[in-house]
Amino acid sequence: MSETWKRWEGQVVDGRFPLLRYLGGSDRSAVFLTERSAGSPEKAAIKVIPADSAATESQLRRWKQSAELAHPHLVRVFESGRWEVEGTPILYVVMEAAEEDLSQILPERALSPEEVREMLPPALAAIGYIHEQGLVHGRLRPSNILAAGDQVKVSADSLRASGEMLASAGGMDGYAPPEAESVKLTPAADVWSLGITVVEVLTQRRPTWNPAEPTSPLLPKDLPEPFAEIARRCLQVDPQQRWTIAEIAGRLQQAKISPAKSLVASGTRAPAIDESRPRRKKWPFAVAAIGIAVVALIALVPTGGKKKSEVQGQEAEPANSAPIASSPVGRESKPSPATRPKTPADGGSSEPSEGAVGKGAVLQKVLPQVSPSARNTIEGKIKVRVRVEVDPSGNVTEARLVSAGPSRYFAQRALEAARGWKFTPAQVGGQPVPSEWNLRFGFRRTDTEVVATQTAP
């Protein structure tokens, strides 16, 4: 079917959504890159499936229900409908675009325990939110845990009401719980699939299990804690014996350790980062304040459709990031001595070597103008990431959103502010050159902070 799906590239679904590029699929579905809104195009993903007359209305109803959900770690569903291409009736759903998913990482390598510890809190938060709404995911697996910008997100196009009976568990492949074909699905089914996924991301293979036997799957002996216990508690044959999402979060919180403290205790120094070497492609987890995310998840406070912005976990600053202190909205500031380029008076060389690269620095920042009423809707922190292109004179020539966060309002404020930033130019061989920066905005009720990171040259 992949050749058939790929042949559809260039078609325009429903007269509005061009199939720009085939991203992948199966015999039953295909996903393409598309655009929303002809006025100011926004990249999105569109999934198409053959229309089954017996299930068309129920599927469209589920997608419409998913479009009403809002959580920072749940892939947004925008629109859905029906269409016909080459005489084939199809259903389509338009969703938030993601850069990659876990199934694309696993053929190359397993995740480290630290990466899984970072991935789980946002995924658990999204799954817990789904369950609060009286829904089950029904398709938890590595391919449905995605990275959108710098956020870990869970897909939302397969959700169904808790208590529904699956017509067939075949679509769940090796992630289906023992009860999938005989009883109605409940949140415990997602817990089983999550247990399979935890084992797979750590070992690159699913646990050994014979559905005909009344015993739990056999786990690898070298599975590290707390993941071995989490998997064991998730993979109970009796759904009533499985842990809940909150219990998984609680166990993760209990086992939380500080890598920095571990290094100090062992007398080992963290290895220096060689910026001259190409970096391995890394799954973009939010890597700090995990404890905060898990504690918030344990509380499992129902959102009930409130129009408040969602809490998002903080993330660690990269090695070459330049943190900028918080200040009142709209105030401009000059670079501190820590960010000012070195001069000969500081011990710097006045004659750079040929080909030497000199980093730029922030010369002027502009913080977003946010109304008090909008700021009062914030719970925790809202994160927005903007990438800016800087010319050799230090002026921003282009600003674009990399990660918009849960609110278009705050994303737009960040984008507008980023265009007013100024930089001392980067240099190569003593000559000013264009550069590229990431600006990570963190909106709180009391203030706004920004971390600026030069990414090129």
Summarize pLDDT for 171-197 with one digit per residue, the tens.
567 898 988 877 788 999 999 999 999
Is the domain of 422 the same as that of 359?
yes
d(CA 29, CA 95): 14
Domain boundary pick from 48, 81, 96: 96
Q: Tell me the CATH number at 24.
A: 3.30.200.20
Q: 107 Cβ partners below 8 Å, 6+ apart?
A: 204
254 and 403 in a single domain? The answer is no
* pLDDT attached to residue 180: 80
pLDDT (0 to 100) of residue 430: 86
State the residue range of the domain holding 234. Answer: 100-266
Residues 163 and 258 in one domain: yes
Closest C-alpha to 236, from 159, 166, 177, 156 = 177
Same domain, 136 and 202: yes
Host H or E run for residue 261: helix 259-266
Cα distance between residue 177 and residue 191, in whole Å: 9
Question: Does the pLDDT value for residue 310 go beyond 50?
Answer: no
114-166 tens-digit pLDDT: 999 999 999 999 999 999 999 999 999 999 999 887 789 999 999 999 988 76
Same domain, 176 and 230: yes
Residue 296 forms part of a structural domain: no
pTM: 0.58
pLDDT in the model for residue 283: 54
Query: Is the pLDDT higher at 256 or at 401?
Result: 401
Residues 89 and 121 in one domain: no
Q: Which two tokens stand for residue 329?
A: 């909205």
Asked, for residue 204, whether it belongs to a domain, the answer is: yes
pLDDT surpasses 70 at 106: yes
Task: For residue 88, list its beta bridge partners.
Answer: 85
* C-alpha dihedral, 425 to 279 to 141 to 24, nearest 10°: 70
Q: Is 215's pLDDT higher than 80? A: yes
Is residue 195 one of the residues assigned to a domain?
Answer: yes
- 44 and 165 share one domain: no
337 and 448, same domain (yes or no): yes
Asked whether residue 292 carries a pLDDT value surpassing 50, the answer given is no
In tens, the pLDDT along 389-442 reads 999 999 999 999 888 877 778 888 999 999 999 999 999 888 999 999 999 999
Question: Do 88 and 197 sit in the same domain of this protein?
Answer: no
Mean confidence (pLDDT) of the chain:
78
Q: Is the pLDDT of residue 57 over 60?
A: yes
Among 17-26, 227-236, 313-322, 365-374, which is the least confidently predicted range?
313-322
The answer on 68 and 120 residing in a single domain is no
For the chain, what is the domain count? 3
Q: Is the peptide bond before 323 cis (omega within 30 degrees of 0)?
A: no
**Phi, psi dihedrals of residue 96, rounded to the nearest 5°:** -60, 135
The answer to the question of residue 395 being in a domain is yes
Which of 96, 122, 137 is at the close of a domain? 96
Q: What is the DSSP letter of 334?
A: P
Same domain, residue pair 91 and 134: no
Residue 107's φ and ψ, nearest 5 degrees, are -60, -25
- Strands laid side by side in the 332-333 sheet: 332-333, 361-366, 422-424
Question: Looking at residue 121, which CATH number applies to its domain?
Answer: 1.10.510.10
On whether residue 311 sits in a domain, the answer given is no
Read off the CATH number of the domain in which 438 is found. Answer: 3.30.2420.10
* Report for 135-144, 260-269, 322-331: range of highest mean pLDDT: 135-144
Is there a single domain that holds both residue 242 and residue 121? yes
Instruction: Report, as an integer, the average pLDDT of 83-111.
Output: 89
Sheet arrangement for strand 21-25: 21-25, 30-36, 42-50, 88-96, 77-85
What's the token pair of residue 173?
A: 């492949």
Burial (CB count <10 Å: 0-12, 13-18, 19+), residue 24: middle
In a domain, 90, yes or no: yes
